[in-house]
Amino acid sequence: MVMPIRKQKRLWLLVSFVLGLAIVACLCAAALPVSMAEPARRQDGAADDRTAPDGDVTGPLSDYADIWQRDLRKPLHDPKPVAKAAKPAPKPKLAVRLMGTVLEPGFTYAMLRGKSGETKFVGVGQSLDGAEVVEVAVSSATVRFHGDLITLKIESEGQRR
C-alpha cells in the first residue's frame, strides 16, 4: 500500500515538529539550575517526609544523603597538589682550621689553614674561604661564616689530620 505524497509530507512535517519541540524542551531543562538539596513541598505547604526541616534527607533516602547533597558541577578529578616550599639548602661546613694566633700591639693575626691546606695569616676584617675574622684572642678566633659567629680553638697535635 502506497501513501500519497501529500500525506507523506504531512507526516514528515508532524515528525519534525515533534522532534523540534523535544529539542527545545531538552535545551530548556539543561539551562535550569540543579538543586537537589531543596526539600520537596506538598500542596498543603508542609515539607515532604523524605526531608527534615533543615534540608537533610531522612527515611529510605538517607543512604543517599552524600550523593543528594553533592555539588554536581564540581570537577571529577582532584586538583594538582600545591608545591610546598622547599627547605633551604643546608649551610656548608666550615673548612677553615685555627693553627695559632699572634697577639702584639698593632699586629693581631690568626693563623688559619684553608680548604687547600695552605696556612695564611689573616687579620680582623679579612677572610679566608668565606670565613671572615671578627676577633682574635689568645688561643681562639671568632669568625663569621654564612651569617653565624663561630669560635675556633687552636688544634692540638692529636686533633690535626
Beta strands (DSSP E) in 3-154 are 97-104, 107-113, 119-123, 127-128, 131-136, 140-145, 148-153
Residue 146 lies in a domain: yes
pLDDT single digits (tens) 38-77:
555 555 555 444 555 555 556 677 777 777 788 878 877 8
Place of cell 693563623: 111
Is 129 domain-assigned?
Answer: yes
Beta bridge partners of 89: none
Q: How many domains does the chain divide into?
A: 1
Distance CA 113, CA 153 (A): 13
Strand partners, 47: 41
83 within some domain: no
Quick check: is 128 in a domain? yes
Q: What pLDDT score was predicted for residue 79?
A: 78
CATH number of the domain that residue 132 is part of: 2.30.30
In a domain, 142, yes or no: yes
Residue 138 in domain: yes
The Cα-based distances of 109 to 54, 73, 96, 106, 121 in angstroms read 81, 74, 15, 10, 6
In this structure, the strands spanning 97-104 and 140-145 are: unpaired
- Residue 133 structural domain: 97-153
pLDDT, residue 47, reads 47
Q: Determine contact, residues 147/130, Cβ cutoff 8 Å.
A: no
Residue 62, domain member (yes or no) = no
How high is the pLDDT of residue 161? 46
Q: Is residue 47 part of a domain?
A: no
* pLDDT tens profile 7-39: 999 999 999 999 999 999 999 888 887 665 555
